[in-house]
Structure 1
Amino acid sequence: MPNPTKAAPPPLVIWHVSDGKAGHDQQARGLIQALSALTPVTTHQISLLGTVPALYTLLDKHYPDTSTLPTPQLLIGAGHATHLSLLAARRCRGGRIIVLMRPSLPCSWFDLCLIPEHDRPRASPHIIVTQGALNAMRRGTDKQSDLGVLLIGGPSPHVRWSDAQVVEQIAVICRLYPAMRWQLTTSRRTPTTLLPILGSHQLANLLVTPYQDCGPDWMRTMLGSAAMAWITADSVSMIYEALTAGCACGIIELDHRTDNRVTRGLSTLQQRDIVSTLSQVRGGQQLRPPDPPFNEAARCAQLIYRRWLSHDE
């Protein structure tokens, strides 16, 4: 007789602690999204506690507004402000803590820390080393070979920003790929002086959409459809999102101030032929999409699943 159909596993219960920062939430969302591709998931966002309430909760063992929630199997948070809340929630209700990025407290206090390689984490059973921060971008399945995206950041502590240097490279890219339709957007950090300088070049294959005019899905839609993306070297999170979306990714170069985590991360990507600079492309290097596909959230989710969850199903 055939074996009875195996019952679907109960949903994996995740409690998410948010510090309200969009970039941190995107990291958590990327991991939760990747876990949900492996097993049914139900997610509950719980309150972020201040330092004193979190310490009191560690003693009191009663986390506010969670008494009706199912017991968590995973507790996930990104950002230093979430750490005490995660520890308090685990003490009150159990579960395993996953922190995204290097914690300010000892890694051994958490069950798992997902730390970018550029932060130089030490080897530990409590650490998974990642290439960059996780994100919630999905690999595009309907790429348009003639569509390219230009993502422009702005001054940061890590680079020496130059409008002229950035605009000159944008013009070179548009002329280097004349058959491409280029979509450019800015960021909150982009100097207001840049677009007027860019406009003087009269690039026929370039359409500019300032960040103020981009809808909430502009980035996801464009990166999902674009075959190629060029991104200023300061915009590290955008580089990893473009790679995750499956874009061939080029770096608009800027002078670096010092050796720092940004320069280390970009250097590693270049050494592994995952990204190329404009200088390298002009020297004959081909710009190709990442192969194998780049998806750190999915890779980490697989490791977590095999470590803790596969035997539960």
Structure 2
Amino acid sequence: MRLTVWRFLDGNRAHEKQTAALLCGLRACGCAVDSHDIPAAALSTLLRHGLDQQLRSLPQPDFIVGAGHRSHWSVLFARRYFGGRSVVVMRPSLPLHWFDFAVIPEHDRPPPLENVILSQGALTEPLPRGRRRPGKGLILLGGPSKHFSWDTAAVRGSLQRLLAEPLEWTVSDSRRTPEETLRGLSVESGEICHWRDCPPGWLAEQLAESEQIWVTGDSVSMIFEALQSEARVGVIPLPSRRPANKVRAAVQRLVDQERLTDRVEDVAIPVGAPREPLAQEVLCARALLRRSDWLAE
């Protein structure tokens, strides 16, 4: 089947990656997707001038997709004037019932409405298959967050245990990583790649090639990106700021499902066959098609 999708972009790369992942999921379901990327307009602009008149030259949309608050009004206006079904990715700041469908991570605990499609984590784009290299390890460090404290001594202890394993390690930090975390750290077999020095596409390449990937527990989006790989995925534990922690609960569910491990010592266990990617973008796309009567049961 062929679908026309209008994708409103708010300029936030993280948001745009999630809607791109949904389009990948639609294609994986066998759809030929004609996608049209459109800059989102502010509500004040829409009220004064309406939608861009050039939209009239585009094919009528089957789905109108957006992620992030700045895209929501453009999605709703386009749905009103051009038809199609509106799809918002992530929990919107506007009422859920204003949209035909909402794809929302289950750890955000949305209400059980019939237009809500639950995803396990944020949608992420698929990675190339068949590129896993034996003996290659990747460590991705986050930093303090509203959900987790950062224990530098404990993190360094986990790093030393991981790096003691004779793999070809790549260690990368992020904007949030405290400087003292990597100060004086020796990576005898591998390298440290600071986030400022990582070129475009570097992370996807590293994820696709690694046999083991370890991520600090605060970086939930990175954990779900890692689960798109064929690697063993491990979490470096961090102390929670409060007993009720939705991010920790989401990670714990993945541990309980044996999709990842939170035991650093598991780095020494031989890695088995390539793991099947999480592929939530495919499950959510299939649910969207089924609920829209595009897909037979």
Distance 1:56 1:73, change over 3 A: farther
Q: Distance in 2 between matches of 1:67 and 1:164?
A: 59
- Does the CA contact (< 8 Å) of 1:167 and 1:197 recur in 2? no
Higher relative contact order (CA 8 A, sep 6+): 2
Are 1:41 and 2:15 an aligned pair?
Answer: no
The residue number in structure 2 matching 1:247 is 231
Q: 1:116 Cα deviation (Å)? A: 0.7
Residue 287 of structure 1 deviates from its aligned partner by 7.0
Which of 113, 126, 142 pairs up with 2:115? 126
- Distance in 1 (CA, whole Å) between partners of 2:41 and 2:277 is 38
Contact 1:183 1:209 in 2 (8 A): yes
Query: Within 5 Å, which residues of 2 pair with 1:16-95?
Result: 16-37=7-28, 38-55=30-47, 62-95=51-84
What is aligned with 1:299?
Answer: 283
Q: CA deviation at 1:197?
A: 3.6
2:131 matches 1:142: yes
Q: Is there any run of 5+ residues in structure 2 with no aligned partner, and where?
A: none
| Alignment match, 1:169 | 158
1:246 and 1:294 in contact (8 A); partners too: no
Task: Kindly indicate whether the alpha-carbon contact (under 8 Å) linking 2:161 and 2:264 is maintained by their aligned counterparts in 1.
Answer: no
Please give the TM-score of this superposition, normalised by the length of structure 2: 0.91
Q: Structure 1 unaligned segments of length 5 or more: list them.
A: 1-8
- Offset at 1:285? 8.2
Offset at residue 290 of structure 1 (A): 8.5
1:15 is displaced (CA, Å) by 0.6
Give the Å deviation of 1:303.
Answer: 2.0
Deviations 1:201-238 (A, max 9, x none): x3422311111221111111111011110001111111
Change (3 A) 1:98 1:280: farther
Amino acid at match of 1:36: R
In structure 2, give the amino acid aligned to 1:126. Answer: N
Q: Tell me how far 1:17 sits from its aligned partner.
A: 0.9
Count, aligned residues: 294
Q: Distance in 1 between matches of 2:38 and 2:52?
A: 9
Indicate the percent of aligned positions where both proteins have the same amino acid. Answer: 34
Tell me the equivalent position of 2:87.
Answer: 98
The aligned counterpart of 1:12 is: 3
Of 205, 220, 225, which residue of structure 1 is paired with 2:204?
220
Residue 270 in 1 paired to residue 262 in 2? no
Q: Which amino acid counterpart does residue 59 of structure 2 have in structure 1? A: P
Partner of 2:179: 192
> 1:139, CA displacement in angstroms?
5.0
1:293 positional shift: 3.4
